[in-house]
Amino acid sequence: MTGSDGAREVYANARERHSLAYGKANLQSALEGLHQDGLLVLKGVVDVDHVDHLREVMSAETKSILQDSERAGLFNQGVKSNILQAPPVTQADCLFDDVYFNPYVIQLANAYLGSKPMTNFMTANNALSGTGGMRQPVHKDITFHHPTCPFYFIANIVLSDFSVENGATEFWLGTHAHTTSEDQVPCTEETKVRNQVLGDPSCNVKPEVYEQRRQVRPPIQPQCSKGDIMIRDLRTWHAGMPNNSDKDRLMIAVGYQAPWYPAHSQRLFLPLQHANFFSVHGGQPVEVRANLLEEGEMDQLRRNYDFTFQPSVPVDRQRQAKL
pLDDT tens digits, 269-278: 999 999 999 9
Do 237 and 139 contact (CB within 8 A), yes or no? yes
Q: Do residues 288 and 278 make contact, with C-beta atoms less than 8 angstroms apart?
A: yes
Q: What is the mean pLDDT of residues 276-285?
A: 88
The predicted structure's pLDDT at residue 283: 82
Report CA 131 to chain centroid distance, whole Å. Answer: 22
Average pLDDT, stretch 96-101? 96
What would the pLDDT profile of 4-56 be if each residue is shown by its tens digit? 589 999 999 999 999 999 999 999 999 999 999 999 999 999 999 999 999 99
Whether the predicted pLDDT of 3 surpasses 50: no
pLDDT band at 64, cuts 50/70/90?
Answer: confident
Please give the Cα distance from 288 to 199 (Å, whole number): 34
Quick check: 291 pLDDT over 80? yes
Distance CA 274, CA 271 (A): 6
Task: Output the average pLDDT for the chain.
Answer: 90
DSSP state of 83: E
List alpha helices for 48-206, DSSP H: 48-67, 97-100, 103-113, 175-178
The secondary structure of 242-289 as a DSSP string is ---SSS-EEEEEEEEE-TTS---S--EEEEGGGHHHHHHGGG-S-EE-
Rounded Cα–Cα distance for residues 315 and 323 (Å): 13
For residue 205, which of 291, 143, 149 has the smallest C-alpha distance?
143
- The domains located in the chain, with CATH, are 8-135+146-168+222-232+247-297 (2.60.120.620)
What's the helix, strand, coil split of the chain in %, to 5?
Answer: 35, 20, 45
Query: Over 50: is that where the pLDDT of 322 sits?
Result: no
Is 50 exceeded by the pLDDT of residue 182? yes
d(CA 196, CA 184): 14
Tell me what pLDDT residue 302 has. Answer: 84
User: Who has greater pLDDT, 178 or 323?
Assistant: 178
Q: Which residues pair with 170 in a beta bridge?
A: 239
Task: Round to whole Å and give the CA distance between 74 and 144.
Answer: 21
Closest CA to 101 of 249, 293, 305, 288: 288
| Helices 103-113, 24-37: inter-axial angle, 10-degree rounding | 60
Query: Which one has a higher pLDDT value, 254 or 75?
Result: 254
Mean per-residue pLDDT, 80-104: 92
Is 305 a residue whose pLDDT tops 50? yes
Per residue in 116-158, pLDDT (tens digit) is 999 999 999 888 898 877 889 999 999 999 999 999 999 999 9
pLDDT tens per residue across span 259-270? 999 999 999 999
Q: What average pLDDT does range 286-298 have in this prediction?
A: 94
Residue 235 phi, psi dihedral angles, 5° rounding? -80, -10
Q: Given a cut of 90, is residue 74 above it in pLDDT?
A: no
pLDDT above 70 as % of the chain:
92
pLDDT score of 246 more than 50: yes
Q: Is the pLDDT of residue 165 over 80?
A: yes
Task: For residue 323, name the pLDDT band (cuts at 50, 70, 90).
Answer: very low
Distance CA 203, CA 35 (A): 22
pLDDT at position 67: 75
Strand-pairing partners, residue 84, are 125
Q: Lowest mean pLDDT: which of 63-77, 99-113, 243-257, 285-299?
A: 63-77
pLDDT above 90 coverage of the chain, percent? 75
Write the DSSP string, 105-142: HHHHHHHHH-SS-EEEEEEEEEE-TT-TT--PPSB-S-
- Which residues are paired to 158 by β-bridges? 251
SS3 category, 185 = strand
In 3D, which of 42, 39, 237, 66 has the Cα closest to residue 139? 237
pTM metric for this prediction: 0.92
